[in-house]
Structure 1
Amino acid sequence: MAVPMRSPWLRWTTIAPVVAVVTLAITWGLVLGTVPVIIVAVVLAAAVLAAVHHAEVVAHRVGEPFGSLVLAVAVTVIEVALIVTLMVSGGPKTASLARDTVFAAVMITANGIFGLSLLLGTLRRKTAVFNAEGTGSALATVGTLATLSLVLPTFTTSRRGPEFSPAQLGFAAIASLILYGVFVVTQTVRHRDFFLPVGEDGAVLDDAGGHSGRPSGPETAFSLVLLLVALIAVVGLAKVESPAIEAAVAALGFPQSFVGVVIALLVLLPETIAAANAARRDRVQVSLNLALGSAMASIGLTIPAIALASIWLSGPLVLGLDPTQIVLLVITVVIGGFTIVPGRATRLQACVHLVLLAAFVFLAASP
């Protein structure tokens, strides 16, 4: 006797994003007690897991590198919307919000997700194998974007402090959009094979990853909608949880800027889990696409959005990194280059990147 198939509307991966959005609508703008904060945290975790599931459905349908691009861009667009909204409503106290959020996202992705992917990729075999050409070009683009948008404002002289003049901000925004657009075309059209998983012999593997039963068009569209709903809920609920996070940060004696690091960690959870799942399936290239693609999208989309929003934003816009942050960024790019050049990495390189992430988090908590 055939077992009746369960309706897609009754699956937890469908219910969780809907419940998360309803929870967001109910709790937005409220001061929550201990029990509601715990409930929101549970709903947030469910929304993260649902987002990962639907991202993998979409990725399975469209193949690589489109799959990782969908998740990276979706998360970043929603994150940018949140940053702009907070800056518009927060006034001068949010002058460095864009810088802190973008830098945290770069360090978390380029060291945390990157290192975790390499570590998980070396569990099944001695080395994690990836395409050095594609990954190297991604890291070079991330380094250039970060330098143009976050390092140069510290050294320019048109404005006092780590700020761009309007003309400089406009140039950085246009350059960021051009670089990001060219990279996307390179990744998806001109040199797509540079971003596909490779085997031990360096041969490009089938981007379907050996999985059977590709999702149908309607099923993929359904998952894409639910992915966007889940990501909106994740970012929104992270903001709802921020007062509790702020209280915990203050109780620990950490600087207020550390709240941005915690929220960035929450917002990037879907990409982290998706990258970890890909690495466990021996598809390290997919994980690295997610890591560096997210870092690139975070800069390449945030800076133009902030430049546009600066037309009506009041107060200064602080983009320049401080010396400690610049040192961490330089080390990340240099060490990342040494890791990528051979096209394979060991657990040592993975641990180096994870230690760099730990250094960033520690110094953010204890500057």
Structure 2
Amino acid sequence: MSKKPALPLWTILSPIVAWLAYFGSSLNLGIFYTFFLAAVLIAAVLAAVHHAEVVAHRVGEPFGTLLLALAITVIEVALIVSLMLTGGPDTAALARDTVLAAVMIILTGIIGLCLLVGGAKFKEQVFSLPGVSAALVTLTAILVLTLILPNYTTSKAGPEYTPTQLIFVAVVCLVLYGAFVMVQTIRHRDFFLPPDADGDEEVHAEPPTNKIALLSTFLLLLCLGIVVLLAKALAPDIENAVINFGAPKSLVGVIIATVVLLPEGLAAYHAARKNRLQTSLNLALGSALASIGLTIPAVAIVSILTGMTITLGIDMKATVLLLLAQFTIMLSLATGKTNILQGVVLMVIFMVYLFTIIAP
């Protein structure tokens, strides 16, 4: 009789130690404790990746990748809303900056890295074109409506929507994202499955038991929660380091968004290295859709209930880079096959994005 897979001990202890360390973060224990917090944060991220893969293997594609995307987005929304409520008017552009950073990191950084390592190891990788096309069509519409269109409406001065426009766009985002999830999980689920799973040992490996999957789900939530809390606790230290380095404060949002997206990014990277590019793209594009399609409605509700003003429209530099990233992604994923070149191009765009933040 084959032995059912069990969870490694470090993946169970990591979130517990991280939570205990977080409660000591308010005691101002010095620089060494700050480095310790950063270390347990990385351990929690790695544990989250492991538990996400366990749950995904149990529930199957595309539900596993959808679960991780939704979990991370809920945490991201909670972080943005909490900072908005405590930061007041100074956080008017926080949602925009965070969403833009998350989308650029996913489209150019995560997908670029996956195509790069996959192309280097396997030369060519294949994926299901209909599923990726559905995600890109939906993502393009949401990106333009939320980040670009506010610059050109005339009912209110500046890159902002009126409350009525904000409600309408929030509803549109929910409709588009809801339609995508229905297509992904019910109507055309086969669009998001690997075109050929033969030879993938992990597909045929024995799935974890229900008990292990439930434990991993609980530990995954613990990991995601502490990742965001530790990122928030470390934000002042990160901000001071950025200022001392002489970089703009907007870089802080990119750093925090990177930390929040690390579990999903590492999971996508591991899948690409195992020649499961479909899983990588499901993770990345699903996360980008959830990030913007659920975050904007959430902050819109907060804005309307509290009377706070939120700025959504991005400047021309960010618009050019975002459209370049979206256009390049659509060309790179237009044939159902990828190689190392697409990964190099996307990674270069990601580096340009980071460079123009540090040296605008």
TM-score range, shorter chain: over 0.9
2:222 maps to 229
1:359 maps to 352
Asked if the contact 1:60–1:208 (Cα under 8 Å) also holds between the matched residues in 2, the reply is: no
1:142 maps to 139
107, 112, 115: which is aligned to 2:104? 107
User: Structure 1 residue 15 and structure 2 residue 13: aligned?
Assistant: yes
2:314 maps to 321
240, 246, 249: which is aligned to 2:242? 249
221, 233, 237: which is aligned to 1:240? 233
Q: Return the alpha-carbon distance in structure 2 between the equivalents of residues 188 and 179 of structure 1.
A: 14
Task: Classify 1:310/1:183 alpha carbon distance in 2 versus 1 (closer, same or farther; 3 Å).
Answer: same
The sequence identity of aligned pairs, in percent, is 51
Q: Equivalent residue of 2:203, what SS? A: coil
Task: Classify 1:207/1:346 alpha carbon distance in 2 versus 1 (closer, same or farther; 3 Å).
Answer: closer
Q: Equivalent residue of 1:333, what SS? A: helix
Q: Equivalent residue of 1:161, what SS? A: coil
Q: Return the alpha-carbon distance in structure 1 between the equivalents of residues 306 and 151 of structure 2.
A: 21
**1:91: Cα distance to partner?**
0.6
Q: Give matches, 1:205-354, under 5 Å.
A: 209-354=202-347
Aligned CA-pair RMSD: 2.0
Q: Name the amino acid aligned to 2:279.
A: V
Q: Deviations over 1:215-265 (max 9, x none)?
A: 111110110010001000001101111111101110111111110001001
1:158 maps to 155
Asked if the contact 1:68–1:286 (Cα under 8 Å) also holds between the matched residues in 2, the reply is: yes
Residues 18-27 or 136-145, more deviating: 18-27
Q: Return the alpha-carbon distance in structure 2 between the equivalents of residues 6 and 335 of structure 1.
A: 40
**1:273: Cα distance to partner?**
0.6
Q: Deviations over 1:190-237 (max 9, x none)?
A: 1111111124xxxx6699943422111111011001000100000110
User: Structure 1 residue 44 and structure 2 residue 41: aligned?
Assistant: yes
Task: Classify 1:297/1:207 alpha carbon distance in 2 versus 1 (closer, same or farther; 3 Å).
Answer: farther
1:195 maps to 192
Asked if the contact 1:92–1:314 (Cα under 8 Å) also holds between the matched residues in 2, the reply is: no
**1:25: Cα distance to partner?**
2.8
Q: Equivalent residue of 1:64, what SS? A: coil
Residues 311-320 or 288-297, more deviating: 311-320
Q: Deviations over 1:99-136 (max 9, x none)?
A: 00000000000111111111122133221211111111
Q: Which runs of 5+ in 1 are unaligned?
A: none
Q: Equivalent residue of 2:24, what SS? A: helix
**1:26: Cα distance to partner?**
2.8
**1:312: Cα distance to partner?**
3.6
Task: Classify 1:248/1:207 alpha carbon distance in 2 versus 1 (closer, same or farther; 3 Å).
Answer: same
Normalized against structure 2, the TM-score is what?
Answer: 0.95
**1:333: Cα distance to partner?**
1.3
Q: Return the alpha-carbon distance in structure 2 between the equivalents of residues 78 and 206 of structure 1.
A: 35
Q: Return the alpha-carbon distance in structure 1 between the equivalents of residues 332 and 5 of structure 2.
A: 46
**1:304: Cα distance to partner?**
0.8
Asked if the contact 1:63–1:207 (Cα under 8 Å) also holds between the matched residues in 2, the reply is: no
Q: Return the alpha-carbon distance in structure 2 between the equivalents of residues 339 and 30 of structure 1.
A: 49
Q: Return the alpha-carbon distance in structure 2 between the equivalents of residues 361 and 103 of structure 1.
A: 12
Normalized against structure 1, the TM-score is what?
Answer: 0.93
